[in-house]
Chain A
Amino acid sequence: MTDYTYTLLIPLIPFLVFVAVGLGGHKVKPVVSGLIGTSGLGISAILSYMTAIKYFFSAHVAGAPYTALKAFEVNWLHLTDKLTINLGILLDPISVMMLVVVTTVSFMVHLYSLGYMKGDPGYYRFFSFLSLFSFSMLGLVIATNIFQMYIFWELVGVSSFLLIGFYYEKPSAVAASKKAFIVTRFADLGFLIGILMLSFLTGTFDFQTLTDPHGPAITNAGGIAFMGMSVLTWSLIFIFVGGAGKSAMFPLHIWLPDAMEGPTPVSALIHAATMVVAGVYLVARLFPIYSIAAPDALHVVAWVGGISSLFAAVIACTQTDIKRVLAYSTMSQIGYMMLALGVSGYGGEEGLGFMASNFHLFTHAMFKALLFLGAGAIIHAVHSNEMGDMGGLRKYLPVTHITFLIACLTISGIPPFSGFFSKDEILTAAFHGNKLLFWIEYIVAGLTAFYMFRLYYNIFWGKERHYHHTPQEAPAVMTIPLVFLAFASVFSGFLPFHDLVTSDGKAFESSIDWMIAVPSILVGLVGIILATVMYRKESNLPDKVASTVKHLYKWAHHKFYMDELYLFVTKKIIFRYISAPVAWFDRHIIDGIMNGVAGIIQFSAYTIKGFQSGRIQQYAFVFITGSIALVLIYVYLF
């Protein structure tokens, strides 16, 4: 077995950068801390590529299945002999793939931020938070046991909170960061309950033991049933709640659009490419146990994914803030990945959905990071997020225009861009798994193409607006990541994922099913053509369409009133009927008892303190009368 101990450096370098820049960043010039952060991530990325090449190719015997191996493990908390918590590094196809995704996108975002954040007073703070996030995400990816994953899961949540609230002077950013933190924390409660149930049932935290198809965890699990499903199924559903919260799945998605208050590179890194796919990664990590022991939980995953993708795609068609369109698009694409996992079986050809999900995760990370970074370049040029303030920008921002167009074509699933391949695998998997979800995904594919090109035409075509100054192309440090990610978006579709990342580690043959691929291309093209007709030139056509489906449009524009629903439930029901009485009880009954005791003591103290007058003769009087009284009592009563 080859030595992989050096992979320890991959998460540790960003951590050291975080500590160094966070503590000493204010003492050096801003650009120094930026360069330290970027080069640290660069080294991590190179190490990840080395690991990936070694794991997948050079250290791998051709034809043999890929096995999980522990590069490093320490016993971190030894609570009792049965309950120990380890920290370590687990390398298997999905974790190695995620290492590559996270470090690549993170490195690109660091590079891009060197230009994007220029002149910001919190420059070094930004880079230290980015490094903290990279460290947490890498720790999450390589976790050897579910408890380690939970620790880093929360760390990721904290760094997301810090970065969304980066512009802490803005009340909206503060509110958004709080919202994101509270909603994901709420979901993490489900995750924690799930972890406790699962580890209680199986007696282990370790992923390798948990996911071994012939291991004790899967074969002995099940047993006790609760409300028609085994407790194991319930525990996996609870774990999925945690994943759904992080991955912004319906109905826990409400934090993601608001999270766009953070700086755009943050949205690209955390809320498009890496953190939000943690939920997908979690399900993929536990996939054997989901698939073999709890297929009901997997159905939940599939349906939540399918509904989220449709729901988000409809909303994305009506939003006008370009980052929010991208946020809903992210939610929709993650729904695709969840759905692919949900319809997948275990092993060989059956595991097509698993492979497709990870494939889409990979390609999506590239093209969605590209879209967000492109949106950042546009916002950088026109100083606005609103589509209405943009138009005709293709002349001013040529590089951004081309790369953005590539990303739009990729997400719309037009061959030969990578999105076509991964989306096609998902559709094929859905076709074999669940026909209804398959048709939903066809609709979503059309909607995706439509809203992406609506965005594209509104930004780069149409009438020119009045700009404060002539929009300028971003500096090279920002366009290089765009070009790199555009290349990745174009070519990552040719990666042989069915050989590398499969549910049981064994390669299988998969080819494009043209019976499914051709209609999906056509659906995509229809979406693009529709968008071209409606938004290529300024016209009143969009308004006409909107007024014909007035109610649907209004509902979608208001995000199906999900925020209002949440506010209603929290403010009107939970606050008024639970929190307010509890607060009243606390304030009046609990505090009342304590204040009452204190009040009585104070009152009696005021009353009797007059005795302590300091007058000697008064004391003597009391003493003498008391003595006489005692004598009288003694004489007459006894």
Chain B
Amino acid sequence: MIPNIPLNYFLVISTLMFFIGIYGFLTRRNLITMLMSVELILNSVNINFVAFNRYLFPQQLQGHFFMLIVIAVAAAEAAVAIAIIINIYRNFKAIDVSHIDEMRF
């Protein structure tokens, strides 16, 4: 393990990743990039889980397992999202979200 690194470092890294993800999700027009941003957000959360588990309750493993579940869900989510994106592409001939605004008033 890395006993010298304090918890704060992990938290800073995860916060940065989280907001980079948010920023990417809000600004990127490409659906694939937006999906990648979502993955970033999820992974920042994973870092938090693992770090807190390791520093606060080293005898227990709940955080680790929860991280594994999140990775599994993220994989499933990516599969579904990619399927949706492919279908959108087939219908709109584009994966740019600014063109996909049919669902409005």
Q: Does A613 contact B (CB under 8 A)?
A: yes
Complex interface residues of chain B between 67 and 89 (CB less than 8 A to chain A)? none
In the complex, what residues of B have CB within 8 A of residue A612's CB?
A: 104-105
In the complex, what residues of A have CB within 8 A of residue B102's CB?
A: 614
What is the CA–CA distance of A609 and B105 in the complex, to the nearest angstrom? 7
Q: How far is the CB of A557 from chain B (nearest CB, A)?
A: 71
Closest to B102 in A: A614
Quick one: given A615-B98, A616-B97, are A621 and B105 in contact (CB under 8 Å)?
A: no
Q: How far is the CB of A610 from chain B (nearest CB, A)?
A: 8
Q: Does A620 contact B (CB under 8 A)?
A: yes
Q: Does A470 contact B (CB under 8 A)?
A: no
Contact A613 B104 (CB under 8 A): yes
Contact A614 B104 (CB under 8 A): yes
- B26's contact among A609, A614, A620, by CB below 8 Å, is which? A620
Contact A613 B101 (CB under 8 A): yes
Contact B97 A617 (CB under 8 A): yes
Complex interface residues of chain A between 579 and 620 (CB less than 8 A to chain B)? 609, 612-617, 620
What is the CA–CA distance of A614 and B105 in the complex, to the nearest angstrom? 8
Q: Does B22 contact A (CB under 8 A)?
A: yes
Chain B, residues 19-31, CB within 8 Å of chain A (1/0): the string is: 0001001110000
What is the CA–CA distance of A617 and B100 in the complex, to the nearest angstrom? 11
What is the CA–CA distance of A616 and B100 in the complex, to the nearest angstrom? 9
Number of interface residues of B (CB under 8 A): 13
In the complex, what residues of A have CB within 8 A of residue B56's CB?
A: none
Tell me the number of A-to-B contacts counted with CB atoms below 8 Å. Answer: 27
In the complex, what residues of A have CB within 8 A of residue B26's CB?
A: 617, 620-621, 624
Closest to A608 in B: B105
- A624's contact among B22, B100, B101, by CB below 8 Å, is which? B22
What is the CA–CA distance of A621 and B105 in the complex, to the nearest angstrom? 19
Contact A614 B103 (CB under 8 A): yes
Quick one: given A620-B25, A624-B26, are A615 and B105 in contact (CB under 8 Å)?
A: no
Q: How far is the CB of A608 from chain B (nearest CB, A)?
A: 9
Closest to A605 in B: B105
What is the CA–CA distance of A614 and B101 in the complex, to the nearest angstrom? 4
In the complex, what residues of A have CB within 8 A of residue B101's CB?
A: 613-615
What is the CA–CA distance of A506 and B30 in the complex, to the nearest angstrom? 110
In the complex, what residues of B have CB within 8 A of residue A615's CB?
A: 97-98, 101, 104
Complex interface residues of chain B between 22 and 62 (CB less than 8 A to chain A)? 22, 25-27, 34
In the complex, what residues of B have CB within 8 A of residue A614's CB?
A: 100-104
In the complex, what residues of A have CB within 8 A of residue B25's CB?
A: 617, 620
Q: How far is the CB of A122 from chain B (nearest CB, A)?
A: 57
What is the CA–CA distance of A621 and B22 in the complex, to the nearest angstrom? 9
Closest to B22 in A: A624
Closest to B27 in A: A617
Closest to B98 in A: A615
Closest to A628 in B: B22
What is the CA–CA distance of A624 and B98 in the complex, to the nearest angstrom? 19
Most chain B CB atoms below 10 A, which of A613, A617, A621, A624: A617
In the complex, what residues of A have CB within 8 A of residue B98's CB?
A: 615
In the complex, what residues of B have CB within 8 A of residue A624's CB?
A: 22, 26
Q: How far is the CB of B20 from chain A (nearest CB, A)?
A: 14
Q: How far is the CB of B17 from chain A (nearest CB, A)?
A: 15
What is the CA–CA distance of A523 and B92 in the complex, to the nearest angstrom? 105
In the complex, what residues of B have CB within 8 A of residue A620's CB?
A: 25-26
Interface residues of chain B, those whose CB is within 8 Å of chain A, are: 22, 25-27, 34, 97-98, 100-105
Supply 23 A–B pairs (Cβ within 8 Å), ascending by A.
Answer: A609-B105, A612-B104, A612-B105, A613-B101, A613-B104, A613-B105, A614-B100, A614-B101, A614-B102, A614-B104, A615-B98, A615-B101, A615-B104, A616-B97, A617-B25, A617-B26, A617-B27, A617-B34, A617-B97, A620-B25, A620-B26, A624-B22, A624-B26
Interface residues of chain A, those whose CB is within 8 Å of chain B, are: 609, 612-617, 620-621, 624
9 residue pairs, one from A and one from B, having the closest CB atoms: A614-B104, A614-B101, A612-B105, A609-B105, A614-B103, A615-B101, A612-B104, A621-B26, A613-B104
- Known interface pairs A615-B97, A616-B97; 12 further A-B residue pairs with C-beta atoms within 8 A, sorted by A's residue number: A613-B104, A614-B100, A614-B101, A614-B102, A614-B104, A615-B101, A617-B25, A617-B26, A617-B27, A617-B34, A620-B26, A621-B26
